[in-house]
Structure 1
Amino acid sequence: MSTTPSAVIRTAGIIADLLRAAVLAAAVFTALSDQVEGAIRLGLVFLVLLAPRLAGLPRPFDLAVCVLLPVATAASLFHWYRQITWLDWVLHCVCTGALAAMVYLLLLRTRLLPALRDQSRGAVVLLTALVGIALGVVWEFYEWFAEIVAGVRIGVGYTDTIADLAMDTLGSLLAGVALVAWLANGREPFPRT
């Protein structure tokens, strides 16, 4: 029995919606357990996960964000980064890439970027990479503020920041290539399904 591409895309949307619901349930459970910081983080992740759904972004990109951001949040909440040192780099790469693609598509959707027909493939990759790099810089500002100003022990430093930004850049470039491949197959950036 073969599966049609539209069935796969519908399934991706269903899984993404289930993951959104799971993050919301986890935020409520964490809040009821008096774990305020975790509840706030999960609540913010839930709000970010709503963006691709509300904007009608392609389901595979929606699903990528809905899988990766909760994993990164869990890694932070359960201190997996301290136990598995390379996990930080991997998650910086894949999460920033997924977010870069999402934000690129949101900017396209809101017409803050030129229409796709007015962009070359190289421009799509470059703009996606620039979005991801900007997101990475904002995250590193947050980490600096949390550690230096708020006194939260994160363990950041020059080497960590540069490595994180390098992985953000790599992930965003790969996300740009994935967007080009998606669009080159004749798919719409904002499908109706």
Structure 2
Amino acid sequence: MPTTTNAALRTAGIVADVLRVAVLAAAVFTVLSDQVEGAIRLGLVFVILLAPRLAGLPRPFDLAVCVLLPLATAASLFHWYRQITWLDWVLHCVCTGALAATTYLLLLRTPLLPPQRHQSRAAVVFLTAVVGLALGVVWEFYEWFAEIVAGVRIGVGYSDTIADLAMDTLGSLLAGLVLMVWLANGRASFPRQ
């Protein structure tokens, strides 16, 4: 059984690396196609995707981010949100959840959070939810800035912002529960560097 688990983890790492390379290639292609906004978005996503890899986070969390962020970026670049109205809510839920879990695991390596062994299970869920909500608020600030200040047509409004933040919170709570189970099942957190 451990051999199967190790093979699955190696495969997850390989797939995540392939997705990182695909995002980088897409960023280069968009630069060559004079699609500056798309190139900037893809370049930023590529940088974000490097963080879990460079930090050595668990491969399932790394893979989740590497699948979901490019998917959300593609949905934005190809205007899938306008064609499939519920997709915005689903991607806010799962993307923010994946980012919240990943960010929580990264924060465990810093003095900003107490070591995981000193946190209750409820604290893991709560802190992951707070991290996700904070990430969601930052995203909503970006959307406001892009639409109001930069003049990019996004189609945001009060109802959209509240729905997005609700889905961010839900996804982060679910991610916190996943992390709680992950850590409770003997998956050690990371030593501080």
TM-score normalised by the chain length of structure 2: 0.96
- Measure, in 2, the Cα distance between the counterparts of 1:166 and 1:154: 19
**Which consecutive segments of 4 or more residues in structure 1 shift more than 4 A?**
none
Counterpart in the other structure of 2:88:
88
Q: CA deviation at 1:2?
A: 9.8
Q: Secondary structure at the match of 1:155?
A: coil
1:87-126 CA distance string (max 9 Å, x none): 0000000000000001101110123210011000000000
Deviation at 1:184, TM superposition (A): 1.4
Describe how 1:55-94 pairs up with structure 2 within 5 A: 55-94=55-94
Name the structure 2 match of 1:19: 19
Distance 2:53 2:33 in 1: 29
For residues 34-75 of structure 1, give each alpha carbon's deviation from its aligned partner in whole angstroms, at most 9, with x where no partner exists.
111101100000000000000000000000000000000000
Corresponding residue for residue 126 of structure 1 = 126
Alpha-carbon distance in 1 for matches of 2:33, 2:142: 26
Structure 2 match to 1:47 = 47
Secondary structure of residue in 1 paired with 2:151: coil
CA shift, 1:5, in A, is: 1.0
Q: Distance between the aligned counterparts of 2:90 and 2:141, measured in 1?
A: 20
Output the TM-score relative to the length of structure 1: 0.96
Q: Which residue of 2 aligns with 1:154?
A: 154
Whether the aligned pair in 1 keeps the contact of 2:108 and 2:190 (CA below 8 Å) is no
The Cα shift of 1:3 comes to 6.1
Task: Write the distance in 1 (CA, Å) between the matches of 2:106 and 2:69.
Answer: 17
Match of 1:111 in 2: 111
Count of aligned positions: 191
Find the aligned partners of 2:187 and 2:38 in 1 and give their Cα distance: 38
Structure 2 unpaired stretches of 5+:
none
